[in-house]
Amino acid sequence: MSSEVKVPTLGESVAEATIGEWLKQPGEAVRQDEPIASLETDKVAVEVMSPIDGVMGEQIAAVGDTVEVGALIAMIEEGEGGSAPAPAAKDKPAAASDDAARASDGEETGDAAVLSPAVRRAVLEHGIDPSSVKGTGKDGRLTKEDVVAAAQAKKDGGAAPAPAPSASPSPSPAPAARGERREERVRMTRLRQTIAKRLKSAQDTAALLTTFNDCDMTAVIETREKYKSLFEKKHGIKLGFMSFFAKAACLALKDVPAANAYIEGDEIVYHDYVDISVAVSAPNGLVVPVIRNADAMSFAEIELAIAEFGKKAKDGTLTMEEMKGGTFTISNGGVFGSLMSTPIINPPQSAVLGLHRIEDRPVAVNGEVVIRPMMYLALSYDHRLIDGREAVTALKIMKEAIEDPARILIDL
pLDDT of the residue at 139: 61
Mean pLDDT of 346-364: 95
C-alpha 358: how far from chain center = 23
Q: How far apart are CA 283 and CA 281, in angstroms?
A: 7
Q: Which of 141-145, 226-230, 333-337 has the highest mean pLDDT?
A: 226-230
What percentage of the chain reaches a pLDDT higher than 90? 42
Q: How far apart are CA 127 and CA 288, in angstroms?
A: 24
- 387 part of the active site: yes
Helix, strand and coil percent figures for the chain, each rounded to 5? 35, 25, 40
Residues 6 or more apart in contact with residue 249 via CB below 8 angstroms: 274, 276, 294, 328, 330, 353, 398
Which residues share a beta bridge with 49?
A: 35
**Active-site residue, selected from the candidate residues 105, 255, 387, 404:** 387
In this structure, what DSSP letter does residue 26 have?
Answer: T
What percentage of the chain reaches a pLDDT higher than 70? 81
Helix (H) or strand (E) run with residue 98 in it: helix 95-100
- 383 part of the active site: yes
Q: How far apart are CA 259 and CA 238, in angstroms?
A: 29
Of 156-165, 326-335, 349-358, 382-391, the poorest mean pLDDT is in 156-165
Name the pLDDT band for 41 (thresholds 50, 70, 90): confident
At residue 18, does pLDDT exceed 80? yes
Q: How far apart are CA 119 and CA 162, in angstroms?
A: 18
At residue 167, does pLDDT exceed 70? no
Closest to 216 (Cα-Cα) out of 404, 391, 380, 393: 404
Name the pLDDT band for 189 (thresholds 50, 70, 90): confident
Closest to 187 (Cα-Cα) out of 108, 113, 95, 105: 95
pLDDT of the residue at 339: 93
At residue 253, does pLDDT exceed 90? yes
Residues 6 or more apart in contact with residue 373 via CB below 8 angstroms: 216, 217, 218, 221, 358, 359, 360
At residue 344, does pLDDT exceed 70? yes
Residue 50 one-letter amino acid: S
Rounded to whole angstroms, the maximal C-alpha distance in the chain is 84
The residue among 378 and 87 whose pLDDT is bigger is 378
At residue 89, does pLDDT exceed 50? no
At residue 165, does pLDDT exceed 70? no
Which residues share a beta bridge with 361?
A: 372
Peptide bond into 283 cis (omega under 30): no
- List, in order of start, the domains of the chain with CATH numbers: 2-167 (2.40.50.100), 192-409 (3.30.559.10)
Mean pLDDT of 138-143: 69
Q: How far apart are CA 197 and CA 178, in angstroms?
A: 39
CA distances, 5 to each of 239, 280, 316, 319 (Å): 44, 32, 21, 21
Contact 13, 82 (CB under 8 A): no
At residue 161, does pLDDT exceed 90? no
Q: How far apart are CA 365 and CA 297, in angstroms?
A: 34
pLDDT of the residue at 43: 67
Mean pLDDT of 113-132: 68
**Active-site residue, selected from the candidate residues 129, 139, 383, 404:** 383
Helix (H) or strand (E) run with residue 397 in it: helix 388-403
Closest to 43 (Cα-Cα) out of 280, 376, 298: 280
Per residue, what are the HEC states of 161-197? CCCCCCCCCCCCCCCCCCCCCCCEEECCCHHHHHHHH
